[in-house]
Structure 1
Amino acid sequence: MTELTHPLATVPRGELVARAEADPLRPSFHFVSPAGWLNDPNGVAQWDGTYHLFYQYNPEGAFHHRIQWGHATSTDLVTWTDQPVALEPSTGPDADGCWSGVLVNDGGTPTLVYSGRLGERELPCVAVGSPDLSTWTKAPENPVIAAPPAGVDITAYRDHCVWREGNRWRQLVGSGVRGRGGTAFLYESADLRSWDYVGPLFIGDASQGDPAGTDWTGTMWECVDLFRAGTGTLGTEPADDSPDVLVFSAWNDGDTRHPLYWTGRYSGDSFEPAALHRLDYGGRYFYAPQSFLDDAGRRIMFGWLQEGRTDAAMVEAGWSGVMSLPRITTLAEDGTLRFAPVPELEKLRGDHTSLPARELAATLDTGVHGNQLDLELDIHLAPGAVLRLGVLGSGDGAEDTVIEVGRPALDAGGAEGILRLDRTRSSLDSSVDAEDRSGPVPMTGGHVHLRVLVDRSAVEVFANGKPLTARVYPTCGGGNVTLSATGAVHLDAFDAWTMADIRGGGRTLFP
C-alpha cells in the first residue's frame, strides 16, 4: 500500500497506529478510531440487538481528507469491536468523500442515507447493507437528489435525518439560506430513491443575536436531528406536553460553532419553534450529535469531541477526534433536555474511594489520583457559594483543570446557578485552547448532583443533567483530584472510581 503525498501527511501510514497508541493523551475508555482522523458519529443504531457506531474516518492521517465511514459494533455500549470500513469514495457522486448520514430500516433492509461529495458539491446518496451490516452496496440511482432546491441561494447542503411517517419516508437535509440563516430542507419519498421536495422545515435568523455568542444559530445547520422528546412519535398528536426537538450544529463559513436545539412542534410540513437551548456547554467540543432509540426505548446520543490542539500536533500524534460517551437523553420537568451517561459505563469502574459528608472550606486533597476517573458528588450550596473540583492536577500547582459550580449570592430559592470549566491552568502547552466554558444549571434549594468523567484529554461533566464537554492537554502527567469551596458548601456524598481501558493494542487501520 503506497504512502500518501497529501501536504499534511507527515506521518507514514505504517506508523500511524503505533504513534496513536503511544500518545499518553489519547483517551482509553472513549471510542477512538484505530488512528488517523475521526469526526461526526453516523448511522448510530441498535440492529438485531447489536449497537452500531459508524463515523467519519480518514485512515490516511490525522486530518480531514477523502472521508470514509468507519464502523464499530458493541453489545453493551461500552466495549467496541472494529469492523471493516462501511463506505469509501468511488467513481461517481461520492468520489471525494462519503460524508455524514444515517442508518434506517427499510422493511428489514439496512439502508444508509449519506452525503456524497464530488468537488464542492454534496448530494444525498443511498447504500444497502447485508443482513449483518458488514458489507454495503451503493444504489445505482445515486445521487438520489440531483441538486439542492432550485432558486435558493444556499450556504451549504449536507447531512441527513430520515424517518418513517405513515406510509412515506421523510428526510431533512441541513442547509442555510444566504442572507437569512440556517435551515433544514424537507423531502418526502415512497422508496428512499425518488424524493419530492416539500420545502424548508424552518428557517433561522442569523441576524439575531451576537455572532460570537454561545447561542447564535449560524448561517448553516449541520447534522440536523428531529425527534419527539417524552412520549409519542413524530407526526402524531402528543397525549401530553411532550415537545418535538430539532437539534442542529451551528456552522458559519467553515467554522464549526456549537450544538443547539429548538423545542417546539413539528406538524404537517413545518416546525413551529417555542424556545432555543444550548445542547452542551462545551460548544464545539460536543459537535454534530446524532441520536437513536434503542430496543429499551432509550434515546441515546453520541457527539464528536473535537481537538483543542494545533493541526501540527494532531498530525504528529497520528490521531484526531474522540467519540463522546453515549448519553441518555430525557425530558426535564421544565421542558428542556436532560442528559446522563448510560449506566452500562459503570462496569468499567475499578478502585473506589469515598469521603464522608462534611462542610468544605480550605483545599482538600481527596486522595484520588488518576487520569481515567469517574467522579460522583452530591453537594448543597448556600447563596453565594462556589464549589471547585480540581482534576488532572500536577500536585505542585503548575497544572490543574477546575470544574466550578456556583450559586448566585442573591438567590433565595437557588433556582439556577452556573457550571464553569476553568482551563487556564490545564496545560503548560500555550498552543492549546484554554477558552472559558460555562452555562446555567438548575439547582433548586442549592442542590447539585455532579458527575465528571475524566479520560486523559477528554472531560465530560454533567451537573443536574446539564452537560459540559471539553478537551484538555496536561503535560505533567498528574492526576490529583482536589476539592475547595468559597462560602458554605456541604458535601453530601463523594465517590470516585478508576476506569478501565476498553481496548488493547493490535488495532489496524483497515479491520
Structure 2
Amino acid sequence: MTHDLIAATVEEGLAERAFRDPHRPRFHFTSPGGWLNDPNGLSHWDGVYHLFYQYNPLAPAHHRIHWGHATSTDLVTWTDEPVALVPGTTGPDRDGCWSGVLVDDGGVPTLVYSGRHGERELPCVATGSPDLRHWTKDPANPVIAAPPEGVDVTAYRDHCVWKEGDVWRQLVGSGIRGQGGTAFLYESQDLRHWRYVGPLLTGDASHGTAADLDWTGTMWECVDLFRVDGTDVLAFSAWDEGATHHPLYWTGRYEGDRFEPSALHRLDYGQNYFYAPQSTRDAHGRRIVFGWLQEGRGEEATARAGWSGVMSLPRLVTPGPDGALAQAPVPELARLRRDHVHVGPFEGDADLDAIRGDQLDLETTLRLAPGATVRLGVRETPDGAERTVVEITRDPAGTSGTLRLHREASSLDPDVDTAPRHGDLPFGPDGTVELRVLVDHSALEVFANGRALAARVYPTRPDEATGVSLTTTGRATVARLDAWHMAPIETAPRPLWP
C-alpha cells in the first residue's frame, strides 16, 4: 500500500469515526476530525466571517498543531477551507503553529502567530492571498527573537495586534515568575520589527489560590484587548504550570502604554470549558466572541471517538447594566430552529413531554420571588438515572441570585468529569430571569440575564437521554417557555484536509 493510500485510509477512518460519535455536536462548529482548540484569526473580511483554529488533523491529541480554517457568511453554516498553516520541517514553528490573529496590513491579510520549537514559542508572521486561502510564512520569522531581556517569564505566547494611527501595537500573553500573569506590549511600523514597550498590566498570583474562581494565574493566555461602547476590556485565560483554569476580563481604561483596571469579572461560569476566547468587531459594528469548549471525558474515550474539542456558538457581547459584559448567542442562530413548541404561562412544575431531544434551543422567561428556585432538566433518561440540571435561585433578600449547573448525574461513566459549575446572577426588582439553554449532544451553553455558562455532558445512554423537565421551589412563575429542535450544520463526514 502506498504512502498516499495509507494516509487516505487513516483520514477516512478518523473523519468517519468522528462523525458517528453520538456525543459529537451537530450545530456547533467542530473540526472534521482530530484535535481542535483555540479560535484564531477571527475576522469579518469582505463580508465573510473567517474562523481559524488550532488543529491536528492526524489525531485527537494536542501535537504538531496546524491552523484549520473555516468561513461563513451567516455565522451559522461553515465551509471548510484549506489548512492555513502547517508546522515547518525546520525553523521556529517546526513543533507547531500556535495561537494568533489576522490583521489587515494595507490590504494584505497577515497572520501573527506563535511558532513553537522545542520549549520556545515566538511571534511569527505569514501573509495571505486575497481570498485568504493560501499563506506564505515570512523568511524573517521569528519576528521577535526572545521574551523581554532580564524578565523571568513563566511562558510567552498568543497575540493581540491592532493599529493606532500609523503604528502597530501587539500584546503577547505571558507571566512574570513570582508576580503573576501579564500582557507584554510591543509596537512596530511594519509587523516585522518590534520594540518592547513594557507590561500593559500585571496580575498578582499571590492574591487567592488556584481553587478560586477569579484567580488570575501565573500566566495569561490568549490576551484580547477591545472596546465595547466606551468601556475598555482586557480579556485573558488564567493558566498555571500547564493547567488551564478559566477566562477572566478586566474592565477599565486603556491609555498610553498602560491599562488601568477598575473591576475583574468572570467571562464564563463554565471555568475551563470555555477557554481561550477571541473576539472581533464585524462590519455591523458588533463585538463577536468564540471560545474553545474543552472535552470532559477520558483520553481513551476521546481517542476512540476520533475527535476532540468544540467551538462555542458565536456570542454577541454588549455592555451589561451592572458594568459587566452581557453575552448572548448571535441572533442568526435562530435560522436553525425547527418544530416550535410553546408552553406557559404557568406556576409550579410543568409537564414537558412534548419537548424532547439532544439538539435543542430552549428559551424561557422566569419570575422568581425571593427565596425561590427553578430547575430546568435536560439530557434526562426516562428513569432519571442520568440528567443535567440548570438551576436558578433568587436569594431570600431578593437582590441577587445564583446560576448553577448540576452535572453530578449527567453521566454514569466514572471517567467523565461531572463537577458542578456556578456563578452569581444579577436580578432586577421584579425577579425576572431571561434564560436560554442550548443543548447540542455533549455541548451545553447556558445564558441567564447576560451571564454565560458552558460545559460538556456525556450520558452513557445518549439515545435515551433526551428528556426535558421543569420544577420549582417557592413562588416562581414561568411566563413562557419556547423550545425548538435545531437543524444540523453537518450531515456527512468531512475531509480532514479540505
What's the % identity of the aligned pairs?
65
The alignment status of 1:96 with 2:95, answered yes or no, reads yes
Q: Which amino acid aligns with 2:416?
A: V
Query: What does the per-residue CA deviation read over 1:232-267, in whole Å, with 9 as the maximum and x for residues that have no partner?
Result: xxxxxxxxxx32100000000000000000011111
1:199 aligns with 198
Preserved contact between residue 19 and residue 493 of structure 2 (Cα < 8 Å): no
Preserved contact between residue 366 and residue 483 of structure 1 (Cα < 8 Å): no
Q: How does 1:14-413 map to 2 (within 5 A)?
A: 14-90=12-88, 91-230=90-229, 242-361=230-349, 364-409=351-396, 411=397
The alignment status of 1:421 with 2:420, answered yes or no, reads no
1:437 aligns with 421
Q: TM-score, normalised by structure 2?
A: 0.97
User: Aligned equivalents of 2:196 and 2:309: distance in 1?
Assistant: 35
Preserved contact between residue 185 and residue 199 of structure 1 (Cα < 8 Å): yes
Preserved contact between residue 168 and residue 191 of structure 2 (Cα < 8 Å): yes
Partner-residue secondary structure (3-state), 1:425: coil
How far has the Cα of 1:364 moved from its partner? 3.3
Preserved contact between residue 364 and residue 484 of structure 1 (Cα < 8 Å): no
User: Aligned equivalents of 2:153 and 2:344: distance in 1?
Assistant: 58
1:452 aligns with 437
Query: What does the per-residue CA deviation read over 1:70-97, in whole Å, with 9 as the maximum and x for residues that have no partner?
Result: 0000010000000100001112100110
User: Aligned equivalents of 2:299 and 2:175: distance in 1?
Assistant: 28
Preserved contact between residue 38 and residue 291 of structure 2 (Cα < 8 Å): yes
Q: TM-score, normalised by structure 1?
A: 0.94
Per the alignment, do residues 60 and 2 of structure 1 end up closer, same or farther by CA in structure 2, a change over 3 Å counting? farther
How far has the Cα of 1:365 moved from its partner? 3.0
Preserved contact between residue 359 and residue 439 of structure 2 (Cα < 8 Å): yes
User: Aligned equivalents of 2:40 and 2:353: distance in 1?
Assistant: 39
Q: Which amino acid aligns with 2:477?
A: H
Q: Which amino acid aligns with 2:334?
A: E
Preserved contact between residue 12 and residue 495 of structure 2 (Cα < 8 Å): no
The alignment status of 1:471 with 2:469, answered yes or no, reads no
Preserved contact between residue 291 and residue 302 of structure 1 (Cα < 8 Å): yes
1:239 aligns with none
User: Aligned equivalents of 1:403 and 1:480: distance in 2?
Assistant: 14
How far has the Cα of 1:12 moved from its partner? 4.6
Preserved contact between residue 391 and residue 400 of structure 1 (Cα < 8 Å): yes
Between stretches 287-296 and 13-22, larger displacement belongs to: 13-22
Preserved contact between residue 247 and residue 266 of structure 2 (Cα < 8 Å): yes
Partner-residue secondary structure (3-state), 2:151: coil
Partner-residue secondary structure (3-state), 2:334: helix
User: Aligned equivalents of 2:410 and 2:351: distance in 1?
Assistant: 19
Preserved contact between residue 11 and residue 495 of structure 2 (Cα < 8 Å): no
How far has the Cα of 1:418 moved from its partner? 0.4
Gaps of 5+ in 2: none
User: Aligned equivalents of 1:12 and 1:429: distance in 2?
Assistant: 28
How far has the Cα of 1:366 moved from its partner? 4.5
User: Aligned equivalents of 2:248 and 2:146: distance in 1?
Assistant: 27
User: Aligned equivalents of 2:320 and 2:344: distance in 1?
Assistant: 30
User: Aligned equivalents of 1:401 and 1:490: distance in 2?
Assistant: 21
How far has the Cα of 1:415 moved from its partner? 2.8
Partner-residue secondary structure (3-state), 1:41: strand
How far has the Cα of 1:148 moved from its partner? 0.3
Q: Which amino acid aligns with 1:343?
A: P
Preserved contact between residue 361 and residue 484 of structure 2 (Cα < 8 Å): yes
Q: Which amino acid aligns with 1:405?
A: I
Query: What does the per-residue CA deviation read over 1:288-330, in whole Å, with 9 as the maximum and x for residues that have no partner?
Result: 0000000000000000000001111111100000000000000
Partner-residue secondary structure (3-state), 1:316: helix
User: Aligned equivalents of 1:109 and 1:503: distance in 2?
Assistant: 32
User: Aligned equivalents of 2:345 and 2:379: distance in 1?
Assistant: 23
Query: What does the per-residue CA deviation read over 1:401-424, in whole Å, with 9 as the maximum and x for residues that have no partner?
Result: 000000012x1xx33210000001
Query: What does the per-residue CA deviation read over 1:180-219, in whole Å, with 9 as the maximum and x for residues that have no partner?
Result: 0000000000000100000000110000012211110000
The CA RMSD over aligned residues, in Å, is 1.4
Q: Which amino acid aligns with 2:227?
A: R
How far has the Cα of 1:454 moved from its partner? 0.3
Partner-residue secondary structure (3-state), 1:368: coil
Between stretches 246-255 and 472-481, larger displacement belongs to: 472-481
Preserved contact between residue 151 and residue 176 of structure 2 (Cα < 8 Å): yes
How far has the Cα of 1:2 moved from its partner? 4.7
User: Aligned equivalents of 1:391 and 1:356: distance in 2?
Assistant: 18
User: Aligned equivalents of 2:344 and 2:157: distance in 1?
Assistant: 52
Between stretches 328-337 and 28-37, larger displacement belongs to: 328-337
Preserved contact between residue 32 and residue 493 of structure 2 (Cα < 8 Å): no
How far has the Cα of 1:344 moved from its partner? 0.4
User: Aligned equivalents of 1:116 and 1:26: distance in 2?
Assistant: 30
Partner-residue secondary structure (3-state), 1:424: coil
User: Aligned equivalents of 1:387 and 1:140: distance in 2?
Assistant: 59
How far has the Cα of 1:171 moved from its partner? 0.1
Query: What does the per-residue CA deviation read over 1:358-381, in whole Å, with 9 as the maximum and x for residues that have no partner?
Result: 1114x6334200000000000100
| Residues matched between the structures, number | 491
Gaps of 5+ in 1: 6-10, 231-241
How far has the Cα of 1:435 moved from its partner? 0.8
Q: Which amino acid aligns with 1:126?
A: V
